[in-house]
Structure 1
């Protein structure tokens, strides 16, 4: 009986969440914008200056906010007037939905694969900049989950969002082949420009995480006015994994000798990944056998090594195919960047343990010095992957609290062709 009741409650919650999605949108709250987005378990609000919370219906006609991703009430409350009215009250302050011009489309990516896209523009006839939002490694629908599709036009910048191949309503097979994804991004920019017509001014790409590899590559294949890479990398996926393990082991308090041993495991895992999980397995098994009883072994994680650690022998050969997405493990990001003259903004998270910024920062700064590359860098202190600030538990686990102040505003300003003033605590390194 309890199992049946639980199932009924889950079904009711799912129905409620679906019904509430008509509340999703960008709202004008004073002189700022507030985004209401779908979220597992309710809705999520995001202020343009970074504060965010999960909204949970409180049974009294309103929604209680839980701070960041903590599950703790933060004292905020939102009341919606209803879907048709397009109004809400945030802590008693009225806000109205910002009207956006939304155009759904389907366009052809590489090899004719049909991709589902959406152009969102500010109302009116003014010429506005355009940002094509390039996804990260996630296999979810960007048209559903990418909240920047509303945040940017709410601040006067058109946004084009699309489901990458193999996700959402797009055709084709999911891939992490940057060459293919870059061609799809080029097609997305062309489609956005076609739909926006004479209203489109400056236009370029914004890629988060894995999109930080794809966006610059796409810009070498078309005419783009700018590239924004958010918590992306100028190293290869294999180098990313090594950097992640080094940083993670350091944070766990391990010394250089332990880290050197851990990197033997990482390098063996890289050989397996390079072979598309068909070779190097015996060597990977052997190095793990040598170290698996060490007290530090369970602290080896990395970006992809941890996915392989549970599997041995033929099981790894078989199970590894679940991660065989065509990832270019030794991708030469710098070869692309050295040939790119498109103005770039790299937004780096200083406390990122998934994609550590250290070597990327050094390479980008060297590129500016040696080639006078049009590359600006913004470092956000205390931010991790996804550009969120966080709290750390006693066991070292992190829980995100909010986005850094100035992060979204910086994205908007760069798309508009100018960076001016302060952007929260971000440190800016701009080319002369």
Structure 2
């Protein structure tokens, strides 16, 4: 989304016997408590022999193993060395040396499960802090990714280390779940509701506040799931949108053109293009082509035409109908392109926390900010927060001479805000880094 100097002789001897390999590095995933009281989360990534570490303040790096069990770290997602050196014990020891401090992996109460979604069998896992008392439990609702939530979601370690239970599951068509991958929000919200029901069943007497956390595309799915479920105490959304996926494409195109230096005159022309491409995509190619032919004839030779990208407009603009028809089977994911989230957001009585990235290029937040503030002003139970200088994922970045962004870390305060709000329903301990609170409910939401 954004330093070991010495090693005790005994630990160094133990660690030297461990040789990292693609087959075993994921055994090091987990949350570690260091000897200075700090917490470091270590999670799998898609590439072999790599892991990602995160601290509660948002600092993060990518770890890459070498043949003798040593790990090198690079800053955020930049690929630049950051000076952090890490070593792990063998897979059974649960030991780490990180930034000059030794630590041990925390142990959680973990219950694997399979459960029924809407016509599919889903693989899931409940992760609870050890103990017997009630704790808040959040269901992690997927974004648009195709990978296994059970295997990859780092919140299943970071949040339990901070007293919150997490239920993770593989969305349909991914990991150990059956069915076909889709971006149909109705189906995905049915599955998310089923996940909440399963989490509540497994947690039993330990279930305290229950709710959803949805990132990116999950910002459409999580509130919709909450509208279908009972006993939902909260919905947290990270870098989601309060407008349709069609509007997301339009806003991305406008941002593409502004970034390229074009003004309002070009943007108004590009709006004609996005109107046409939106009809084509929403109808799965059944309509919109005549309108597209008209705008292509008007503007197709203008220099800004190739600067349009967006979610799909650039693709449609650069291909003929015949070419796109050949790609349609591969591209068709059942996406709910014309889904309007506002009726759900306006009617939902469940408290919601929305966390936005001010400079999000993937989900431009301007209209969402206005809508959330307006909803809060209407008395809806919405808290809205924006993190300045962050892109999608609430990730900070630096920009090179060519204008390319390089993601350096997750914004300070982002994790702490989630933890406090899930536990209490309040944002009572600001500041959260440099986050700006845009709206809060008119009356505090009491914790259950």
TM-score w.r.t. structure 1 length? Answer: 0.93
C-alpha separation in 1, matches of 2:114 and 2:410: 32
Residue 22 (structure 1) aligns with: 27
Superposed displacement of residue 240, structure 1: 1.3
5 Å-filtered alignment, 1:233-312, equals 233-312=241-320
C-alpha separation in 2, matches of 1:350 and 1:17: 37
Alignment length, in residue pairs? 416
Say yes or no: does 1:62 pair with 2:79: no
Q: CA RMSD in A?
A: 1.6
SS of 2:180 mapped into structure 1: coil
C-alpha separation in 2, matches of 1:139 and 1:60: 32
Q: Greater shift after overlay, 317-326 or 408-417?
A: 317-326
Residue 31 (structure 1) aligns with: 37
C-alpha separation in 2, matches of 1:48 and 1:304: 35
Residue 163 (structure 2) aligns with: 156
Deviations 1:74-123 (Å, cap 9, x if unpaired)?
Answer: 01110112211101111221111011111111000013x10011111111
1:107 corresponds, among 102, 115, 131, to 115
Does structure 1 retain, via aligned residues, the 8 Å contact 2:306–2:314?
no
Residue 185 (structure 2) aligns with: 178
Superposed displacement of residue 317, structure 1: 2.1
5 Å-filtered alignment, 1:47-196, equals 47-59=55-67, 61-111=69-119, 113-196=120-203
Does structure 2 retain, via aligned residues, the 8 Å contact 1:352–1:384?
yes
Superposed displacement of residue 167, structure 1: 1.0
Does structure 2 retain, via aligned residues, the 8 Å contact 1:80–1:88?
yes
Residue 16 (structure 2) aligns with: none
Superposed displacement of residue 36, structure 1: 0.9
SS of 1:16 mapped into structure 2: coil
C-alpha separation in 1, matches of 2:28 and 2:64: 13
C-alpha separation in 2, matches of 1:167 and 1:21: 19
C-alpha separation in 1, matches of 2:104 and 2:315: 45
C-alpha separation in 2, matches of 1:362 and 1:126: 40
C-alpha separation in 1, matches of 2:204 and 2:22: 36
Residue 369 (structure 1) aligns with: 377
C-alpha separation in 2, matches of 1:107 and 1:233: 29
Residue 413 (structure 2) aligns with: 406
Superposed displacement of residue 173, structure 1: 1.2
C-alpha separation in 1, matches of 2:324 and 2:297: 15
Question: Gapped runs of 5+ residues in structure 1?
Answer: 1-14
Say yes or no: does 1:340 pair with 2:345: no
Question: Gapped runs of 5+ residues in structure 2?
Answer: 1-19, 443-448
TM-score w.r.t. structure 2 length? Answer: 0.89
Residue 12 (structure 2) aligns with: none
Does structure 2 retain, via aligned residues, the 8 Å contact 1:281–1:317?
no
Superposed displacement of residue 311, structure 1: 2.5
C-alpha separation in 2, matches of 1:82 and 1:47: 22
C-alpha separation in 1, matches of 2:263 and 2:173: 42
C-alpha separation in 1, matches of 2:225 and 2:65: 42
SS of 2:354 mapped into structure 1: strand
